[in-house]
Amino acid sequence: MQVSPRRLLALCAIVFVLAPVGAARAGSLDLPTRDWGLSLGNSHDFTGLRFNLSDRDIGTITGVSATFWIPRDNPRGRVRGLSLGVVGTGTDGIDGLSINLVGVGAATRARGILIGGLGAGAGDNSTGVILGGLGAGAGTNAKGIIVGGLGAGAGDDATGLMLGGLGAGAGNRAMGVMVGGLAAGAGDAATGVLLGGLAAGAGDDLTGLAIGGLAVGASRRFTGVGVGGVGLGSADWRGLAVTGGYLKCDRFAGLGVAGYARARERCDGLAIALFNWTRELHGVQIGLLNYAGNNRRGTKWLPGLNMHLN
């Protein structure tokens, strides 16, 4: 049976006229049943196509859900499928694709794709893609892609790709690629690629490639390739280090190129700098002035070339 456009329009008008009556009695008008189909209002548990002004104390919504105002009091609410919003989308959990012109968030867990005009995030864990015009992140762990116009981050661990206009970071561990317009880093350990406009670093160990416009550093150990415009630093550096300024570490093993290279305890490999200094050399120093504390008297300070190959 064919339905003319005029009859379809009339049916829609009747539904929207009756919606306030149903909402006054049960919170929503649901067709053909209160469990599935078409819902207009604050239905609690529903599967199908749903429209609501503002979600409040909902259960599980599956299908397509559209809201228009800030959500209120959704401690156990979950949305599965496609959720669209104007001012705000917020529930306890989100599974699927959620798009909001202002902001979208899950109090605990988000799995899928979250897109917010200003911000997007999950209070606990997220898996998938989070895109926020200003900020994007997860309060605990994030796996996947996180992109924020200003910042992208995870309170604990981050795995995947993180892009922040100003900064990208993880409070604990980061694994993957982190790019920040100003800085990229991890509070504990980082493995992968870190690119920071000013700085890149890790509070503990850093393994991989790290490039900072000014500095690159790891408190305990750096393993890989580090490039910093002004300075590089780590207690234990292993790999390639390139800076126009100061390379500072307790122990160094690999190839270092710097303005001033200082390995306080030991240097293994090749150090090329205007000034090289180490207490114990096992390799070669090339520079205007070189100091190797374990060389014989008279050969500790040498211009041009110094070496200790034992």
The 10s digit of each residue's pLDDT in 26-36 is 489 999 999 99
Give the gyration radius of the chain's Cα atoms.
Answer: 29
Nearest to 170 by CA among 49, 238, 161: 161
Average predicted confidence (pLDDT) for the chain: 92
- At residue 177, the pLDDT reads 98
The number of helices, as runs of H, and strands, as runs of E, in the chain is 1, 24
Residues shown for the chain: 310
Residue type, 289: L
Residue 21 has pLDDT above 70, yes or no: no
Residue 299 to residue 248: CA distance in whole angstroms: 23
For the segment 86-102, the average pLDDT, to the nearest whole number, is 93
- Whether 257 is covered by a domain: the verdict is yes
Residue 160 to residue 124: CA distance in whole angstroms: 17
For the segment 144-160, the average pLDDT, to the nearest whole number, is 98
Q: For residue range 249-305, what is the model confidence (pLDDT) as tens digits?
A: 999 999 999 999 999 999 999 999 999 999 999 999 999 999 999 999 999 999 999
Q: Write a three-state SS string for 218-248.
A: EEEEEEEEEEECCEEEEEEEEEEEEECCEEE
Query: pTM of the entire structure?
Result: 0.86
Alpha helices in the chain (DSSP H): 5-26
Percentage of the chain lying above the pLDDT 90 cut: 86
- Whether 128 is covered by a domain: the verdict is no
Label residue 18 by pLDDT band (50, 70, 90): very low
For the chain, the 3-state helix, strand and coil shares in percent, each to the nearest 5, are 5, 70, 25
- Whether 49 is covered by a domain: the verdict is no
For the segment 7-28, the average pLDDT, to the nearest whole number, is 45
Which tokens sit at 196? 């920071």
Three-state secondary structure call for residue 5: helix
- At residue 15, the pLDDT reads 40
Domain total for the chain? 1
φ/ψ (deg, to 5) at 53: -70, -50
- Domain span including residue 274: 230-310
Residue 6 has pLDDT above 70, yes or no: no
